[in-house]
Structure 1
């Protein structure tokens, strides 16, 4: 059970939003992430992340969610979400503020975030996701790099025409590697697609994730009843209520709990408990682009119910972490930072300044200061 007992009232008096530059390699159509910092009257701060924020999400966060939180008082971080209960639901915007409030609260309480959430594990097995490669040979080469870095579970992105042959090639080269696949909703219930999914069932995978579009839980249930391999859900779940409905329909047997997708640590923690109670397997994935969001995922994954490997960047990932120390796996293991309070990671302000496209500072009086980031030289 999480340690959330405290009658001390918290009021956020300052809120900073930092929109990050989009890495050039992701293309002009991509969106940069937003880091969120909340501070109380004692000067204690907490951080959260909104990954790959669209313009509408930036506006929702700056014009609605942030002002609502500045007007709201709360005693426990589980109550912070009441501030935006009446706003149009944006789980990623809510998650950024929810995580920042948990970070602030646990720092002020003098405890690691993992312990505040109820986690007890000190180290986590790491998993890595590999996108589709140009050839099967290049996929095997990339898997070899990740195995050499100590990763014990590899999640392969698949789609029609890139599924069984790719998985078999990896299994042939690495027969003891734990594999699962993420279909990204790319399949339908057409005969050819179902035949491919049935072929995957014979390969001893940990899970087949998101085979169908997110809005077709009935198709998930039909497939789950047929396969021995657990069907995992990630993208169809934007709330604990979505998970409850999937469980009721017996639409799977495993769940990817993503803090940003579910709306924050508060609902994500409930989702872990709900899935475990239903006998589902759980792992904590992450859509975070920086170490701020990943640190929150690691804290959540310290819960005993999240028993499958936690998702972290793989070997060769060149993304900017911005967290100090970086949130990384070492020989396939992710340490849970228990020697520091809150997230257990700071934010490198110098590096952050170089990645900032725009920053907005809002305080409880309603004052707003908008700044542009430094231009690259």
Structure 2
């Protein structure tokens, strides 16, 4: 396939409710979409970077800039292009994994659409539906939290994840566990909000029989996580620290984690996400698929990834209605706690034109 151009499109989707974590409160999803147009087909990609560099050093406007100035022109120089040529073509440019992942996703979608092959099959999926968990943000009160968790349990979600931070950790977990009992699959996510000095405090979560505690310490503190894992009984899961298959192997070897959350946008794309999956499977480490408030485009790709054999824990692959009243694709709807893996060519979904137009803030065409 030869690329003729890339369209950059900024969209804004209001969230059904504010989503608060230890680093920010979001009321809308400001997303950067890519449309890769080739000689044989076209495909869509979604950049998971947020509007501000709070979750990571990348942010949406910065991703658009590096795509415009460096990454897209580098792909334009390729005479013939397939997904396996993307990473080598972009390798001279350091970092910018979220931007690179979006470009890889768009190229792969276009390529697979031309071939008539679903992304799930190309990745090596073994399931046609995946169990879904849901992420519950930090609330203003315990009754509000219980009401929110109750609604998600009634909807059929198979696992509940609570966002935590200092001052909102032990009591919220206690309240949820006491209200719903031991059968509820429950885990927590700190988004780097603690330090190793908090180890004894975090050990107070052990009696609640959590599936895991996700990314309690700063992302570069691998040794700190290894020390924490010796102090607490709750399994440590790494998220922000896992940026590549090499990083995953190092963290596992050092004992810094016993579970891994794989976010394709954070690691540079779905090919690298699959490599991380393979490393974890080889070490007997379970993985699950994280989320970044993706639209239906990114959600479709994440669900395809979550259908691989090593994804043995429910991921943050929630239904569209968890975040958006109207998604830009046909909505993903929960069915008995699961989402169906798209079976159409490429991502298996595409934007609804009138909805996409309504939420678009700006577009830019980069000819090649």
Q: Could you tell me the TM-score, scaled by structure 1's length?
A: 0.88
2:36 aligned partner: 38
1:240 aligned partner: 245
Task: Name the SS of the counterpart of 1:308 in structure 2.
Answer: coil
How far, CA to CA, are the matches of 1:282 and 1:28 in structure 2?
26
Of 204, 215, 236, 1:231 maps to: 236
Does the CA contact (< 8 Å) of 1:188 and 1:194 recur in 2?
yes
- Equivalence map 1:36-115=2 (5 Å): 36-42=34-40, 44-51=41-48, 52=50, 53-74=59-80, 76-115=82-121
Does the CA contact (< 8 Å) of 1:312 and 1:329 recur in 2?
no
How far, CA to CA, are the matches of 1:284 and 1:122 in structure 2?
16
Closer, same or farther: CA 29–297 of 1 in aligned 2, 3 Å? closer
- Equivalence map 1:161-180=2 (5 Å): 161-175=167-181, 176-180=183-187
Count of matched residue pairs:
350
CA displacement at 1:18 relative to structure 2? 0.5
2:194 aligned partner: 187
Does the CA contact (< 8 Å) of 1:72 and 1:80 recur in 2?
no
CA displacement at 1:236 relative to structure 2? 1.3
How far, CA to CA, are the matches of 1:130 and 1:28 in structure 2?
13
- Equivalence map 1:132-211=2 (5 Å): 132-175=138-181, 176-190=183-197, 193-211=198-216
Task: Name the SS of the counterpart of 1:352 in structure 2.
Answer: helix
Of 292, 298, 301, 2:303 maps to: 298
Closer, same or farther: CA 56–231 of 1 in aligned 2, 3 Å? same
Does the CA contact (< 8 Å) of 1:31 and 1:54 recur in 2?
no
- For the pair 1:21 / 2:12, whether they are aligned, the reply is yes
Unaligned runs of 5+ in 2: 19-24, 51-58
Does the CA contact (< 8 Å) of 2:287 and 2:311 recur in 1?
yes
Does the CA contact (< 8 Å) of 1:49 and 1:288 recur in 2?
no
How far, CA to CA, are the matches of 2:102 and 2:79 in structure 1?
17
Stretch moving more, 224-233 or 277-286: 224-233
CA displacement at 1:355 relative to structure 2? 1.2
Does the CA contact (< 8 Å) of 2:134 and 2:160 recur in 1?
yes
Deviations 1:98-135 (A, max 9, x none): 11122122222212110011112011100100011111
- For the pair 1:352 / 2:350, whether they are aligned, the reply is no
How far, CA to CA, are the matches of 1:185 and 1:64 in structure 2?
31
1:221 aligned partner: 226
Unaligned runs of 5+ in 1: 1-9, 365-377
How far, CA to CA, are the matches of 2:60 and 2:81 in structure 1?
31
Task: Name the SS of the counterpart of 1:347 in structure 2.
Answer: coil
- Equivalence map 1:245-260=2 (5 Å): 245-260=250-265
Of 272, 285, 288, 1:283 maps to: 288
Deviations 1:63-120 (A, max 9, x none): 2111111222456422221121101320100010111122122222212110011112
How far, CA to CA, are the matches of 1:82 and 1:288 in structure 2?
28
Closer, same or farther: CA 29–86 of 1 in aligned 2, 3 Å? farther
How far, CA to CA, are the matches of 1:294 and 1:76 in structure 2?
22
Does the CA contact (< 8 Å) of 1:112 and 1:341 recur in 2?
yes
Deviations 1:134-190 (A, max 9, x none): 111111110000001000101100111211211111111211210010011111122
Task: Name the SS of the counterpart of 2:7 in structure 1.
Answer: strand
Closer, same or farther: CA 31–346 of 1 in aligned 2, 3 Å? closer
Deviations 1:202-245 (A, max 9, x none): 21111110010111111100112233321000011222222122
How far, CA to CA, are the matches of 2:323 and 2:5 in structure 1?
34
Stretch moving more, 143-152 or 167-176: 167-176
What CA RMSD, in Å, does the superposition of the two structures yield over aligned residues?
2.0
Does the CA contact (< 8 Å) of 1:127 and 1:311 recur in 2?
yes
1:130 aligned partner: 136
Task: Name the SS of the counterpart of 1:15 in structure 2.
Answer: strand
How far, CA to CA, are the matches of 1:250 and 1:11 in structure 2?
44
